[in-house]
Chain A
Amino acid sequence: MPVIEFVLDGRSRVATYMQLVLQVKQALRVGLLRPGDRLPRVREVAQSLAINPNTVHKAYRELELEGLAEGRPGVGTFVVNTLAGPSLASQGELREELVVWLGKARKAGLSREDIAALIDTTMRSDFEPPAPQDLAAPADSRGA
């Protein structure tokens, strides 16, 4: 039984292999995938999504290059690193605080778009310069 199952967004302009990479990273970030887990086999992914197996290989190679996964010949591709880091433990608490804050914002009359825009601009000014690039940054730089 594979730990995660991939889904594709047919309307997305993001390349298929990158969608797979991003889904693995997302799962790593929220702790759904942990070091030692086996990623779904290439054949399983190719078959269930009806996509070219070379695309799956490419995605897994990308994850290997980023140091997140490791291919073991004949066995499969395994997660060797994580993106969750120590933040995972405090995520629950932060989330609760965020919910409280969102309640306040709604009370103040902010719409969903207003809230998103506010968070976005605040994050931009706070993280400048430059915005962190999840895709390109090596995984171990933010490491454990």
Chain B
Amino acid sequence: MEQALEAEGLGKRYGRTWALQDCSLQLPPGRVAALVGPNGAGKSTLLHLAVGLLKPDSGRVRVFGREPRGGPEVLDEIGFVAQDTPLYRDFTARELISLGGRLNRRWDAALARDRLSALHIPPDRPVGKLSGGQRAQVALALALAKRPRLLLLDEPVAALDPLARREFMQALMGAVAESETTVLFSSHLLAELERTCDHLIVLQTAHVQLSGSVDELLDGHRLLIGPRDAATPAGVDKVVRAAHTERQSTLLVRSRALPAPASGWTEHEVGLEDLVLAYLADAETREAETAWEVTA
């Protein structure tokens, strides 16, 4: 199956620092994917590579099988909303819609107009004078008017207040339902992720820590609580995170099959947020150990 987004050994370097390194992932079409990780993890870099703003220093990235920098036709397939939703501040929403029509071969001006009118956004006021939430909605409407097959959003709600944030996610989810576009949006907020995304990519310190469909990820992980010093139950592929008290061990494990109920261990399902946090903390520990030259 042709992937909406595919990266192989993808890397980008600024000077000597790798902003993204050895990144391999696949995003099947039709998914709504969240790209999560702390600030500076490489989320923007990955999105910029995907939309062709940046050129990879290693590896490759493909959008529906084609290189994003391969030509403007590839850009026709991608809608992009950059961080802080930059728009020409002295342009009105109406002018921006007209501009989009002049810069794109495929352009659904009516779609953008209908969306903005439904949200009561004034068409003739410079967008610099709109609220942050309204501006984000204008940026989203412009990205959707391209009728993209892949929609990329860089921290679309980070700068918005809770109400505007909810309105934006409502608009986004409504648009996804209508257009069946594939979505990849970055966020450093974990709450409500479970409701909005069905695919997850976790980035930390320039590396992909976790990537896959949410259902598979949740199915493939378990929280095990058991006596300290007991042998790790059979069927566990990897212990992602372990915490110990004097008598008890709490393990977050990855397992292909459900581990057989071993004596003394109780098994719990893992929430998406806990899973993400466990992987982020694990990467952080490893990073610190490398930096301090300590062996685990």
Which residues of A approach B to under 8 Å, CB–CB? 8, 13, 15-16, 42-44, 46-56
Contact = CB atoms under 8 A, between A and B. Distances in A.
Given A8-B195, A16-B195, A55-B198, A48 B170 contact: yes
Contact of B196 (A42, A51, A56): A51
Nearest to B198: A54
Contacts of A8: 195
- Residue in B166, B196, B197, B271 whose Cβ sees the most chain A Cβ within 10 Å: B196
17 contacts: A16-B195, A43-B174, A43-B178, A47-B171, A47-B174, A50-B169, A50-B170, A50-B172, A50-B195, A50-B196, A51-B173, A51-B195, A52-B195, A52-B196, A52-B198, A54-B32, A55-B195
Interface of B: 30-32, 166, 169-174, 176-178, 192, 194-198, 271
Nearest to A43: B177
A46 B173 contact: yes
Given A54-B30, A54-B32, A46 B198 contact: no
A53 B176 contact: yes
Nearest to B271: A13
A52 B197 contact: yes
Nearest to A56: B177
A52 B176 contact: yes
Interface majority SS (helix, strand, loop, mixed), chain A = helix
A23 B280 CA distance: 35
A11 to B, nearest CB: 12
A40 to B, nearest CB: 11
Contact of A52 (B32, B166, B171): B32
Contacts of A55: 195, 198
A46 B194 contact: no
A13 B197 CA distance: 16
A52 B194 CA distance: 9
A50 B194 contact: no
Contacts of B192: 50
B132 to A, nearest CB: 18
B10 to A, nearest CB: 26
A89 B31 CA distance: 44
A46 B196 CA distance: 9
- Residue in B166, B177, B192 whose Cβ sees the most chain A Cβ within 10 Å: B177
Contacts of A46: 173-174, 176-177
A12 to B, nearest CB: 11
Given A46-B174, A54-B31, A54-B32, 15 more contacts: A8-B195, A15-B194, A43-B177, A43-B178, A46-B177, A47-B174, A48-B170, A49-B173, A50-B195, A51-B173, A51-B196, A52-B176, A53-B32, A53-B176, A55-B195
Contact of B173 (A13, A15, A47): A47
B166 A50 contact: yes
Contacts of B198: 52, 54-55
A8 B192 CA distance: 11
B177 A47 contact: yes
Nearest to B165: A50
- Residue in A42, A46, A48, A52 whose Cβ sees the most chain B Cβ within 10 Å: A52
B35 to A, nearest CB: 15
A8 B178 CA distance: 22
A46 B179 CA distance: 13
Nearest to A51: B195
Nearest to B195: A51
Nearest to B173: A46
Contacts of A48: 170
B177 A49 contact: no
Given A42-B177, A54-B30, A56-B177, A49 B195 contact: yes
A141 to B, nearest CB: 28
B32 A47 contact: no
Contacts of A50: 166, 169-170, 172-173, 192, 195-196
A44 B176 CA distance: 11
